[in-house]
Amino acid sequence: MTRRLRPVGLGFTEDAPTRLVFTARASAAPDAVYRALAEEVTGWPSWFRAVTLARPTRGGGGREVRLMGGVRFQETVMAAVPGRRYAYRVDETNVPAVRALLEEWLLTPADRSPGTGTAPGTPATPAAPATPAMPVAPGTAAPGTLVRWTFAADGPPAFRLALAASRPALGHSFRTAVRTLDARLAARPRS
């Protein structure tokens, strides 16, 4: 049965009862990662294994997403800033107990000093250990994109506990998706 969720704004990523934040590094530029996230929505199943269907709705203002196991979402795109930010709120779902859900993808050029784990201007989040930096020759900038995914949700205590317990699996799924996306982007012919 599909249920309507509480509408939340972008501030929910900061004040949600449950916030899971993950980071990963892609060698692709922020603009290429953004295009895959926001403009090539139907391509999500090719790089995010849990996604079985993704398609834009309402002229790009919304999305329909289906996950493995039969989970369905109807979403509203809340932010689409090319090369920087993509966020969407779940309006309807068949997932029991969830009351509100918002996901945000922040993209930052990964031109940070080697070994710092975060890009300049990216706040450190205790709940989000950074992905270890890739080796970079001394005195050079690290190429690519630091991808930060925030999964913000609300539901009853049992739902929040189950979501917290799923943190390792969600983190693994996210890191695998970013690696797969990065490999797909690297294989594209350069224009």
pLDDT tens-digit readout, 10-30: 999 999 999 999 999 999 999
Q: Is the pLDDT of residue 137 over 70?
A: no
Beta bridge partners of 102: 89, 152
Q: Is the pLDDT of residue 158 over 90?
A: yes
* pLDDT at residue number 132: 39
Reported as a single tens digit per residue, the pLDDT across 72-122 is: 999 999 999 999 999 999 999 999 999 999 999 999 998 753 343 433 333
Other Cβ atoms within 10 Å of 57 Cβ, number: 15
Q: What are phi and psi of 53, to 5 degrees?
A: -155, 135
Other Cβ atoms within 10 Å of 137 Cβ, number: 8
* pLDDT at residue number 191: 61
How confident is the model over 145-154, as a mean pLDDT?
98
Which residue reads 């996230």 in tokens? Answer: 37
How confident is the model over 148-154, as a mean pLDDT?
98
5: Cβ contacts below 8 Å, ≥ 6 apart = 89, 90, 91, 92, 93, 98, 99, 100, 101
**pTM of the model as a whole:** 0.83
3-state secondary structure of 145: strand
Question: Do 147 and 30 touch, CB atoms closer than 8 A?
Answer: no
